[in-house]
Amino acid sequence: MRHSTFIVAAFVLAAVFAVKPAQAACSKESLSGVYGYYHFRSAGIGEPTATLGQFTADGKGNITKGSFTESYGPISTGKFTGTYSISADCTGSLTFSSEQVSPINFFIVLDDSHNDFEMIITDQGYAQPGHGFPADETSCKLTGEAVPLAVNLVGYLSSSGEPLAAVGQWTFDGKGKISGSEILSESFVNSSKTVTGTYSQNANCTGTVHVTPKGSATENFNTVTVNKGSELLMIETDEGTVFIGTAQQ
């Protein structure tokens, strides 16, 4: 009897797995709404370059609007439109009318939830991978209670190519003020610094951050808030540095 019970149970379990619905195939509708993105090229494979942007996909293959900040020492900003395609296997392409080159093309891969995506420039001579995240314009403001964010930034001094990196915790107080601390690595020298500053956010999830590590100059960033307000994508807008990263709850 025990063997019979085991066989029946195994059969039922197998049947359950057999009828489990497969993950839905991707399509143009899988990329719909507002997204923040960044891509980055490190030193050693050409001039270090970083780009942070935001675009709106209409679910039908069109990029209806987009904007970007690019840093390669000098800082540039711009706007774009474009097109995209998504295959059933969740791979696809993006084409922006302008950015680091006009037009610029990307290969992308959507994740299992069809929300985030990996990206890389497919135009020759760029070698820049990156990542995209959904940005919910109904919940992108850092207001209300104080929120500590884990910060991770990486980049280079554009004049020398020497590396920059910072990891820390910055608290956004819900009213436009920042306080916290970080470990800053500059030109292979590490230092621990307290941080103060301010931030602002627009209704479309873009914004700015201005922080001053103690004893250092103020660092200014453009930001895009993604993942329902839980993460900031950040790029420094001061000339002479290429510095990009994230701040996450």
Q: Is residue 73 part of a domain?
A: yes
- Residue 110's nearest CA partner among 33, 19, 222 is 33
What share of the chain has pLDDT > 70, as a percent? 89
84, 102, 134 — which closes off a domain?
Answer: 134
Segment 92-107, tens digit of pLDDT: 999 999 999 999 999 9
Residues 109 and 179 in one domain: no
Segment 111-158, tens digit of pLDDT: 988 889 999 999 998 989 999 999 987 778 777 789 999 999 999 988
CA distance 157 to 71: 11
Q: Which residue has the higher pLDDT, 86 or 19?
A: 86
Output the average pLDDT for the chain: 88
With a cut of 60, say whether residue 15 has pLDDT above it.
no
Residues 105 and 189 in one domain: no
Residues 161 and 242 in one domain: yes
Please answer whether residues 152 and 168 qualify as being in contact, where contact means their C-beta atoms are separated by less than 8 angstroms. Answer: no
Query: What is the CATH classification number for the domain harbouring 154?
Result: 2.40.128
CA distance 3 to 10: 10
pTM of the entire predicted model: 0.88
- Identify the domain containing residue 184 by its residue range: 147-248
Q: Which residue has the higher pLDDT, 189 or 19?
A: 189
